[in-house]
Structure 1
Amino acid sequence: MELIKSLEWRYASKKMNGKKVSQEKVDNILKAIQLAPSSMGLQPYTILVITNPGIKKQILPIANNQSQIVDSSHLLVFAAWADITPGQIDEYIAHTAKTRNVPEETLAGFKNTLLNIITKKTTEENYQWAARQAYIAFGTAIAAAAEERVDATPMEGFNATALDALLGLKEKGLRSVTLLPLGYRDTGNDWLANLPKVRRQREKLFIQH
Structure 2
Amino acid sequence: MTPAELTTALNWRYATKAFDPDKSVPEDAWQALLDSLQLAPSSFGLQPWKFIVVSDPELRQRLRGNSWGQAQVTDADKLVVFTSRTDMTPEDIKRWIDRLSEVQGQSAEELKGYAGIVEGFCQRMSPEARHNWNVRQTYIALGQFMTAAATLKIDTCPLEGIDPSGYDHELGLAGSGYATCVACSVGYRTDDDRSASRPKARFAKSEVITER
Say whether residues 1:4 and 2:7 are aligned partners: yes
Equivalent residue for 1:47?
Answer: 51
Say whether residues 1:151 and 2:155 are aligned partners: yes
Equivalent residue for 2:197?
Answer: 194
Taking the TM superposition and a 5 Å limit, the aligned residue runs for 1:106-185 are 106-185=110-189
Structure 2 CA distance for aligned equivalents of residues 109 and 60 of structure 1: 46
Structure 1 CA distance for aligned equivalents of residues 151 and 113 of structure 2: 39
Computed over aligned residues only, the root mean square deviation of the Cα atoms, in angstroms, reads 1.0
Consecutive unaligned residues in structure 2, runs of 5 or more? none
Deviations 1:104-129 (A, max 9, x none): 11000111111112222211111000
The alignment's TM-score, normalised by the length of structure 1, stands at: 0.96
How far the C-alpha of 1:202 sits from its partner, in A, is 1.3
Q: Which runs of 4+ in 1 moved over 6 A?
A: none
Structure 2 CA distance for aligned equivalents of residues 170 and 118 of structure 1: 23
Correspondence for 1:71 among 62, 75, 81? 75
Letter aligned with residue 3 of structure 1: L
Consecutive unaligned residues in structure 1, runs of 5 or more? none
SS of residue paired to 1:163: helix
Structure 1 CA distance for aligned equivalents of residues 110 and 73 of structure 2: 46
Letter aligned with residue 9 of structure 2: S
SS of residue paired to 1:95: helix
How far the C-alpha of 1:92 sits from its partner, in A, is 0.5
Correspondence for 1:205 among 170, 192, 208? 208
Deviations 1:41-91 (A, max 9, x none): 111111101111111101001011110000011101110001111111111
Letter aligned with residue 109 of structure 1: G
Letter aligned with residue 18 of structure 2: K
Deviations 1:2-39 (A, max 9, x none): 22121111111100011111121111111112112111
Identity %: 31
Structure 2 CA distance for aligned equivalents of residues 123 and 22 of structure 1: 41
Equivalences, count: 208
How far the C-alpha of 1:171 sits from its partner, in A, is 2.4
Equivalent residue for 1:81?
Answer: 85
Structure 2 CA distance for aligned equivalents of residues 112 and 120 of structure 1: 12
